[in-house]
Structure 1
Amino acid sequence: MKKRFFSLLLAASLLGGLTGCAGNQGETTAAQGTDSTQTVTEAAKENQSAETAKAGAEPCTLTFLSWYPQEKFQPILDAFEKEYPEVKVEFQYAAPVADYLEKMQVLTSTGEIPDVFYIAAENKSEMIKNGYCADITGTEAVSRLVEVNKNTYEENGKVYGFAPTTWVGGYFYNKDLFQKLGLEAPATWDEFLTVCEALKADGTRPIIERGEWFWDSFLGPFMNDYLAGDLNYHQEVIEGTKTFADGWGPYIEKWYQDLILPGYIDEDLVSVSSQEFFSEFATGNAAMLAGHAGHLKEVQKLDPEFEIGFFPMPGTGTDIKVVYGAVDCAMAISSETKYQEQAELFLNFIARDDIVQLYQDMNGYVIGMNGVESDVDPILKDVAGLYSDGKINVYIPQGNWDTYGTGLQQQLIAGSQQLLLKEIDCNTFIQEMQDKLKELKDE
């Protein structure tokens, strides 16, 4: 197997280091930052002007399967239609994550892949290595990305996805409730457990998570205590030099003992929908919500006056080296499209300064493009600044599993639900992850 460096997504750093899901194992590449003091170069401005001035694109209708719903994407669609009325966009939507991945699997199996679509951490390697994505390395859109956003969707020196934003996450908390109970945002795992106990004693659900994602509450100690010192861990698991037991094992056990057994995360989480996820937090029934800027926006829609705080998922110490997050899903062009030029035009349009700001307004994430300032929610300003300054890394496991991402993600969801329901023990959970990897590699 070709050695790939799939372990972490490193933010801007002048000292070099990790470059996320790209680059050969052992390679380090300096990632460029998104410093708000940067300005777009004159060359970039000229390129943007030339792109804007391009007239007479061949009329066509691009099919587009979006990760984001139409009401969020509509300002971008309207702007594109106004400037390029000859290129229509037929918008389709499938909700992330599971529904979107299932939709893409159906489309690839039937040969009906849209002209433009999204690839994500869970399926990027499969989509790229199976030849579904066109090489967009030479596009203006890709040329404007900072290195980490560019490299995340790179394979063998070619870029196959345009991801202009990065999300950073952790725990959002109810500031009024914390103040009422005399609690402060925890800086360590032990402090986090103390907060959970106080909330439970108050009769408040400590943490709200979704049924497919509550496993992320084990990540704080794993990321900061183990992964920060072994950046190649997941690649070593894929290659067989390490196992899930070596890295995940002790932290899954810690998660089970510290959060599941005391009931700080409860069995009812297995069935929590996205809507309940937001409403439980917004109405005060749950004190903390694990999520990112997109989730924050949804909560604020329900209660614009809600006082919300934020803290990263903590490790056992006070140093935060890695936070829950990832370079966002990327727009890709079908390798079979008849409208390559128009599809590239669409991506280049989104990469313009004014339009990428609309894109960032849509999801609230950190912009990963040279010379473009990120207007993130003040609640996330500190952690976003640490990322942009290259002081922290971001991590989600499913972005590190090569072509086995979808299968391992499904096993992670199923196993964590069984563990929460106490149908299996931690050793079985870990062994089933290892067995699933072997099964996928043997296919």
Structure 2
Amino acid sequence: MAFTILLTACGNSNTDNSVNRTSPPSVGEKAEPISITIRHTQVKDTQKKRLIMLQDAVKATEANVPGLTITLDGVEDKVNRFEKLRAEMAAGNPPEIFDLFGGTDTRDYVKADRLMDLTPILNELGLIDKFYSFDEFTVNGRIYGIPMAGYVEGLYYNKRILAANGLKPPQTWDELLAAADALKAKRITPFALAAKDSWVINMMINTMWVRTAGVDSIEGFLDGSKRWTDPEVIDAFSKYHTLVKRGYLQEGSLALSYAEQQNKFSSGEAAFMFDGSWANTPLLDPEKSTIAGEIGFMNFPSMGGPGDGYINGGWSNAYGFSKKVNVGQLAAIKEFIRQMYNEPMQKRQLIEEGMPPAMKLQDVSNVNPLIRQILDVFAGAKGTFPAFDSRIQTKVREKLERGMQELIGGRTDPATLMTDIQKQQEASNKEEAHTK
């Protein structure tokens, strides 16, 4: 596991932000105006620190590239990924720099010839070997995105609630059910959940079906070697349905947006919350969380299947760059990469925001205990697997999202849902085969 290197690395804390500079014009020479737009997704109240880091990198880039003006265009991440960026890519006019998701998104945009090949730039800047992984942004051996940070998904738990009720962090599915049953009996919400934003539901069920069906399940759905209707897949959805039927999930979740899930947990009103490493920021903010010092993080409990011990994690969010840039814009892009991707900036992200670094840091000291635990869990996993929506087709993802809301709302059952998903999977596979 790559994070083992991070956790055992040591060195001096280096806050020197100096990087290579773009040469200024000669005395008396007027710089030609250069303008670029950066599409970012740091628009939420919980992302203010990340936005400041981006703004600092922008200021440094403008200072080092004569005549450069950078415009920041902030868009909510799902709107950017599923609506705005897709429309811009279809029209052939994306921003010069933009937030890019790996896997299927990157492959589609490479196929459309919209993304800049970053391989020569990364080699030129000496960065190619300083990252943990470019896998989700590599197509035919070429790199098309530079990940900013890593992520990992798992189970947050309230130490105080568990201890007060004589419970330990559950290591198996049966222990998790027993804990949930004991907590509900005392009128404590076992799981915080906001199901209005359908992608939130699919984080935990993605891990659950990998537990029961294996880490190769997604590729199996795509190549036909596995089916959503296989017993080991249905088993995971049936177990999730158990949580629904027993009332272990947050009441009224279908009407609640993602922030309400974090609010329920950070207010000390729920014992567990399945979420990503990115959620640690509001949880550790004493102005937003009453349990900032009482939070633990763990891999999801074992369920007796081939995927036990694996964790959903990797480096799937990056900056991508438009292929349509002029010479001046290319110089600005290179300088932005220098300012954004360096040890001080990555360390700052880790300390201030708890974002697992994308680059191999020499110094990981002074990390918050919860963030350290998240990194330990990442490093200690048996292996990793990517989020299913980085591989699966859009229509399958959308049908699964709607179907999970229907399952929570009592409008379908696991077997029916899996039959519907398999039909869509077969249709999407057939459609994809025809376009190749």
Q: TM-score range by the shorter chain?
A: 0.7 to 0.9
Question: How far, CA to CA, are the matches of 2:177 and 2:406 in structure 1?
Answer: 23
| 2:28 paired residue number | none
Q: CA deviation at 1:264?
A: 1.2
- Are 2:229 and 1:245 equivalent residues in the alignment? yes
1:193-252 residue CA offsets vs partner (Å, 9 max, x unmatched): 11111121111221112322123333444333432xxx4332222122222223522211
Q: CA deviation at 1:133?
A: 1.4
Paired residue secondary structure (1:215): helix
User: Do the aligned residues in 1 keep the contact of 2:277 with 2:354 (CA within 8 Å)?
Assistant: yes
| 1:426 paired residue number | 414
| 2:55 paired residue number | 77
| 2:289 paired residue number | 303
- Are 2:92 and 1:94 equivalent residues in the alignment? no
Q: How is 1:191-230 mapped onto 2 (pairs within 5 angstroms)?
A: 191-211=175-195, 212=198, 213-227=200-214
1:270-289 residue CA offsets vs partner (Å, 9 max, x unmatched): 22112212211122222222
Aligned AA (2:413): D
Paired residue secondary structure (1:105): helix
| 1:126 paired residue number | 108
Question: How far, CA to CA, are the matches of 2:284 and 2:117 in structure 1?
Answer: 38
| 1:254 paired residue number | 239
- Are 2:47 and 1:61 equivalent residues in the alignment? no
Question: How far, CA to CA, are the matches of 2:191 and 2:227 in structure 1?
Answer: 30
User: Do the aligned residues in 2 keep the contact of 1:208 with 1:288 (CA within 8 Å)?
Assistant: yes
Aligned AA (1:377): N
TM-score by length of 1: 0.81
Q: CA deviation at 1:151?
A: 1.6
Out of 179-188 and 367-376, give the one that drifted further.
367-376
Q: CA deviation at 1:157?
A: 0.2
Paired residue secondary structure (2:229): helix
Aligned AA (2:346): V
Q: Which runs of 5+ in 1 are unaligned?
A: 1-10, 14-31
User: Do the aligned residues in 2 keep the contact of 1:170 with 1:310 (CA within 8 Å)?
Assistant: yes
How has the CA–CA distance of structure 1 residues 201 and 390 changed in structure 2, closer, same or farther, with 3 Å as cutoff?
A: closer
Q: CA deviation at 1:59?
A: 4.4
| 2:131 paired residue number | 146
Greater C-alpha radius of gyration: 2
Aligned AA (2:114): Y
Question: How far, CA to CA, are the matches of 1:182 and 1:422 in structure 2?
Answer: 33
Q: CA deviation at 1:185?
A: 0.9
Question: How far, CA to CA, are the matches of 1:267 and 1:99 in structure 2?
Answer: 30
How has the CA–CA distance of structure 1 residues 97 and 360 changed in structure 2, closer, same or farther, with 3 Å as cutoff?
A: farther
Determine which of 363, 375, 384 is the counterpart of 1:393. Answer: 384
Paired residue secondary structure (2:146): coil
Question: How far, CA to CA, are the matches of 1:283 and 1:371 in structure 2?
Answer: 34
| 1:18 paired residue number | none
Q: CA deviation at 1:35?
A: 4.9
Paired residue secondary structure (2:319): strand
| 1:333 paired residue number | 321
How has the CA–CA distance of structure 1 residues 373 and 385 changed in structure 2, closer, same or farther, with 3 Å as cutoff?
A: farther
Paired residue secondary structure (1:68): coil
TM-score by length of 2: 0.82
Q: CA deviation at 1:384?
A: 1.4
Question: How far, CA to CA, are the matches of 1:123 and 1:362 in structure 2?
Answer: 29
Give the aligned CA root-mean-square deviation in angstroms.
3.0
- Are 2:296 and 1:324 equivalent residues in the alignment? no
Q: How is 1:282-431 mapped onto 2 (pairs within 5 angstroms)?
A: 282-301=266-285, 302-303=288-289, 306=292, 307-316=294-303, 321-338=309-326, 339-361=329-351, 363-374=353-364, 376-388=367-379, 391-401=382-392, 404=393, 406-431=394-419
User: Do the aligned residues in 1 keep the contact of 2:191 with 2:271 (CA within 8 Å)?
Assistant: yes
Out of 261-270 and 193-202, give the one that drifted further.
261-270
User: Do the aligned residues in 1 keep the contact of 2:10 with 2:364 (CA within 8 Å)?
Assistant: no
- Are 2:165 and 1:181 equivalent residues in the alignment? yes
Paired residue secondary structure (1:198): helix
Question: How far, CA to CA, are the matches of 1:84 and 1:262 in structure 2?
Answer: 57
Aligned AA (1:397): F
Q: CA deviation at 1:100?
A: 3.8
- Are 2:9 and 1:37 equivalent residues in the alignment? yes
Question: How far, CA to CA, are the matches of 1:411 and 1:322 in structure 2?
Answer: 25
Q: CA deviation at 1:439?
A: 3.3
| 2:20 paired residue number | 52
User: Do the aligned residues in 1 keep the contact of 2:89 with 2:109 (CA within 8 Å)?
Assistant: no
1:333-373 residue CA offsets vs partner (Å, 9 max, x unmatched): 01123323322321232111112223434642221323444
How has the CA–CA distance of structure 1 residues 39 and 391 changed in structure 2, closer, same or farther, with 3 Å as cutoff?
A: farther
User: Do the aligned residues in 1 keep the contact of 2:92 with 2:114 (CA within 8 Å)?
Assistant: no
User: Do the aligned residues in 1 keep the contact of 2:283 with 2:289 (CA within 8 Å)?
Assistant: yes
Question: How far, CA to CA, are the matches of 2:395 and 2:134 in structure 1?
Answer: 25
User: Do the aligned residues in 2 keep the contact of 1:61 with 1:89 (CA within 8 Å)?
Assistant: yes
Question: How far, CA to CA, are the matches of 1:52 and 1:389 in structure 2?
Answer: 37
Q: CA deviation at 1:330?
A: 1.0
Question: How far, CA to CA, are the matches of 2:267 and 2:377 in structure 1?
Answer: 30
Question: How far, CA to CA, are the matches of 2:21 and 2:313 in structure 1?
Answer: 37
